[in-house]
Amino acid sequence: MKNLQLLLLCVIASVIISCKRHSSGNGYAGWRTYAGSKDGNRYSSNDEITLQNVNRLKVAWTYTSNDKDSANRSQNQCNPIMVDGILYGTSPKLKLFALNAATGEQKWLFDPASQDTSKKNDPMAYYKVCRGVVYWEGKNGDNKRIFYSVGQKTYAIDAGNGQPIMNFGKGGYLDLTEDLGRKVKSYVSGTTPGIIYKDLLIIGARVDESEDAAPGHIRAYDVLTGKLRWIFHTIPHPGEFGFNTWPDSTAWKKLGSANNWGGMALDEKRGIVYVPTGSVGGDFYGAHRKGPNLFANCLIALDAATGKYIWHYQVIHHDMWDRDLPANPNLVTIKHNGKTIDAVAQITKHGFIFMFDRTNGQPIFPIEEKPVPTNALPGEQPWPTQPIPSLPQPFARQHFGPEDVTNISPEVHKAMLTKYNKVKYNTMFTPPSKDGDWIFPGFDGGGEWGGAAVDPETKIMYISNTDMPWAQVMIDVPKNTDDHTLAGMGHTIYNKYCISCHGPELKGNGTAYPSLVNIGKKYNEQQVSQIVANGRNMMPSFKQITMDDKRALLAFLLKLPEKASDAKIISKEPVSKNKLNDIPYTMNGYKRFLDTDGYPGIKPPWGTLDAVDLTSGKLLWKVPLGEYPELTKKGIPITGTELYGGPLVTKGGLVFVAATKDEMIRAFDKKTGKQVWAAKLPAAGYATPATYSIDGKQYVVIACGGGKIGSKSGDSYVCFALP
């Protein structure tokens, strides 16, 4: 009898240990889901690494894929997952790998190039962005699958052997350009992974941001067959809720975007998925999309089983400032006015946190519709109010005046003040104009795709925040050139597709929007053609451009000599027709406010890690995140840097975050914001770390992809653990 009792105790202990090692998607001990759990909180209950021992962290293993772009244009923003001791993630070239999570030893590798012989020799076809993968297994723990996106394809891969599951979708993948209700020629790509609800894969997509963008509808697919099970139209169709808010009853037929590219959160118990969306294309001039533009710039609650609408809240009405909701929301339970409330919190690019009762969409704290300027470009009809939450307190600065111009030296201050005064600054919601305005926080936040971490025990949110002004200056779209040559035709095509990023003089702005002047010295005709066709990292694909138009564009960019056969192209209508032909204004390029040395033109800090109490709504602390050592040596206090990537918070009392231009990963005391550990990475970790525990040993892993804002590219994952 005693032996039987002992055996039962051993079995129970084994189950408990197994549950701790390999928690479910809703638990906090593992990292089975993008952002750690389906509530999107980037939190771990593992506490082997603590404030007392974090300074002993060492590199446990490094995995290198050896596929970074030698021109330093590749990135890796992946937040990997860990299931049953196996780490799944992607490389800069979007190869999917499975590693022993304790040792970094590769178990298998799936290369999407091997599935597409038409692009096998194209070195640029797979340098795109994939922020993570999705795991699903059958009820009996069998039939384990990884879903991940490579451009417009979302693959279903056998988690055991790394092979495509050929009876899923179109021979192993979904084509994201399909099932959208109309034929789509423009760019559609998976970036941030979707989420699993029972036997459904719920996904969004990245699309173009121009007036001819594809629809951004939310879709759910059967995880076994790849069949479409439901779709939610983010630009409502006739008879659907929100359709009557559109003055143009045909908007659903011709407009696009209003897409989910930042991720989702799932209340699995209630079966509700929370979906944040971006703006309707195009981003900066909306005469063709009058009204508030539902369901753009919204947090939407949908029935996860059916896709049926439950509630929504629009954070920006009639967006003209590219204020997409940039990251998944966070689900948290708080005490408010004596009641326990299951809440959803959504960070924004403009530095606010909007909080709602997740069952009915009622704001936790009052939100005021405040009047905003409405004097706009001809044809534009700005919305007269915008919502501003009373609490939580903003995590980003909300004003950029002349008194805020950088003071790192008297000479730099004088030069940057002159530059500042060339663009008018009014308010956060001043409509775009030819006089210009300073977008602050900038087009990349404030909050960004790295998302926020929330400690479910303390109800404190942690956010990596960038304080970077960008200029928004509108110009007339240049008229078709009178140069009736192939290059002249190409100039017209450039003005249609490329001017908003690279500017009217092709000079771009920094490494994010590179100069195209003398691009022929860097790339040959075939390489430029491949980049235009496939896109590269955050540059979208322009496959919708006809072969003739592409030939003309290349002639303009590369100063190619005309061939006899080009006469047929020149004799045609110069630019293929679509909605872009009727847009009178565009933005004069994406321009960060930087000094001649590349430092932000605003007083530091330029990047911060912030802590906000979601119960009281109070900002608890804010510390600089990132360093320019050369400035520190001059006696300038630590400034922070522009940030890309989110934090994770642990029960062990720590916040881990990379995200900085100085190629470091750091740990902070989650109560005080004091830095307690740091380590140098082989390349900048523009991604969110993951953490997990195996046999009582906790690991922290980060993708080191670099490649943004002038950083060198990398192709490694670095994993840390206690000795």
Give the whole-number percent of the chain exceeding pLDDT 90. 77
Give the pLDDT confidence score for residue 119 in this predicted structure: 63
Report whether the peptide linkage leading into residue 446 is cis, meaning its omega lies within 30 degrees of zero. Answer: yes
In a domain, 328, yes or no: yes
The confidence band for 7, taking pLDDT boundaries of 50, 70 and 90, is very low
- pLDDT, tens digit, 9 for 90 and up, residues 301-356: 999 999 999 999 999 999 999 999 999 999 999 999 999 999 999 999 999 999 99
Give the pLDDT confidence score for residue 530 in this predicted structure: 82
Is there a contact between 118 and 88 (Cβ–Cβ < 8 Å)? Answer: no
In a domain, 562, yes or no: yes
In a domain, 7, yes or no: no
Other Cβ atoms within 10 Å of 240 Cβ, number: 14
Do 556 and 455 lie in one domain? The reply is no
Q: Is pLDDT at 434 greater than 80 in this prediction?
A: yes
The confidence band for 18, taking pLDDT boundaries of 50, 70 and 90, is very low
Give the pLDDT confidence score for residue 495 in this predicted structure: 82
Is there a contact between 197 and 137 (Cβ–Cβ < 8 Å)? Answer: no
Give the pLDDT confidence score for residue 482 in this predicted structure: 66
Give the pLDDT confidence score for residue 548 in this predicted structure: 84
Closest CA to 453 of 495, 395, 405: 395
Do 502 and 537 lie in one domain? The reply is yes
CATH of the domain at 507: 1.10.760.10
Give the pLDDT confidence score for residue 5 in this predicted structure: 53
Q: Compute CA 705 distance to the chain's CA centroid, rounded to the nearest angstrom.
A: 15
Of 547, 582, 617, at which residue does a domain stop? 582
In a domain, 124, yes or no: yes
Number of folded domains that form the chain: 2
The confidence band for 79, taking pLDDT boundaries of 50, 70 and 90, is very high
CATH of the domain at 222: 2.140.10.10
Q: Strands 330-336 and 437-439: what pairing?
A: unpaired
Do 310 and 450 lie in one domain? The reply is yes
In a domain, 351, yes or no: yes
Q: Structural domain of residue 524, as residue ranges?
A: 478-582
> Three-state SS string across 462-526, please?
EEEEECCCEEECEEECCCCCCCCCHHHHHHHHHHHHCHHHHCCCCCCECCCECCCCCHHHCCCHH
Other Cβ atoms within 10 Å of 9 Cβ, number: 10
Do 463 and 612 lie in one domain? The reply is yes
Instruction: Give 265's strand partners.
Output: 274
Q: Strands 648-650 and 43-44: what pairing?
A: parallel
Do 316 and 285 lie in one domain? The reply is yes
- pLDDT, tens digit, 9 for 90 and up, residues 577-606: 566 677 899 999 899 999 999 999 999 999
In a domain, 136, yes or no: yes
Do 613 and 544 lie in one domain? The reply is no
In a domain, 430, yes or no: no
- pLDDT, tens digit, 9 for 90 and up, residues 114-144: 988 776 667 678 889 999 999 999 998 889 9
Cα distance between residue 663 and residue 439, in whole Å: 27
Do 187 and 332 lie in one domain? The reply is yes
- pLDDT, tens digit, 9 for 90 and up, residues 685-703: 999 999 999 999 999 999 9
Is there a contact between 77 and 703 (Cβ–Cβ < 8 Å)? Answer: yes
Do 612 and 692 lie in one domain? The reply is yes
In a domain, 70, yes or no: yes
pTM attached to this predicted model: 0.93
Task: Report the mean per-residue pLDDT for the chain.
Answer: 92
- pLDDT, tens digit, 9 for 90 and up, residues 463-509: 999 999 999 999 998 877 667 788 888 888 888 788 878 888 888 87
Do 450 and 495 lie in one domain? The reply is no
Do 257 and 375 lie in one domain? The reply is yes
Q: Tokens 């039939």 belong to which residue?
A: 143
- Tally the residues of the chain: 723
Give the pLDDT confidence score for residue 579 in this predicted structure: 64
Q: Is pLDDT at 21 greater than 50 in this prediction?
A: no
Do 504 and 463 lie in one domain? The reply is no
Give the pLDDT confidence score for residue 571 in this predicted structure: 67
Cα distance between residue 181 and residue 169, in whole Å: 17
Cα distance between residue 663 and residue 620, in whole Å: 27
- pLDDT, tens digit, 9 for 90 and up, residues 263-291: 999 999 999 999 999 999 999 999 999 99
Do 138 and 246 lie in one domain? The reply is yes
Is there a contact between 703 and 130 (Cβ–Cβ < 8 Å)? Answer: no
Q: Is pLDDT at 678 greater than 90 in this prediction?
A: yes
- pLDDT, tens digit, 9 for 90 and up, residues 158-196: 999 999 999 999 999 999 999 999 999 889 999 999 999
- pLDDT, tens digit, 9 for 90 and up, residues 525-584: 888 888 888 887 667 888 778 888 888 888 888 888 887 776 767 766 655 556 667 789
Of 582, 617, 641, at which residue does a domain stop? 582
Q: Is pLDDT at 22 greater than 50 in this prediction?
A: no
- pLDDT, tens digit, 9 for 90 and up, residues 232-274: 999 999 999 999 999 999 999 999 999 999 999 999 999 999 9
Give the pLDDT confidence score for residue 573 in this predicted structure: 61
Of 582, 616, 647, at which residue does a domain stop? 582
Burial of 387 (0-12, 13-18, 19+ CB in 10 A): middle
Cα distance between residue 5 and residue 324, in whole Å: 59
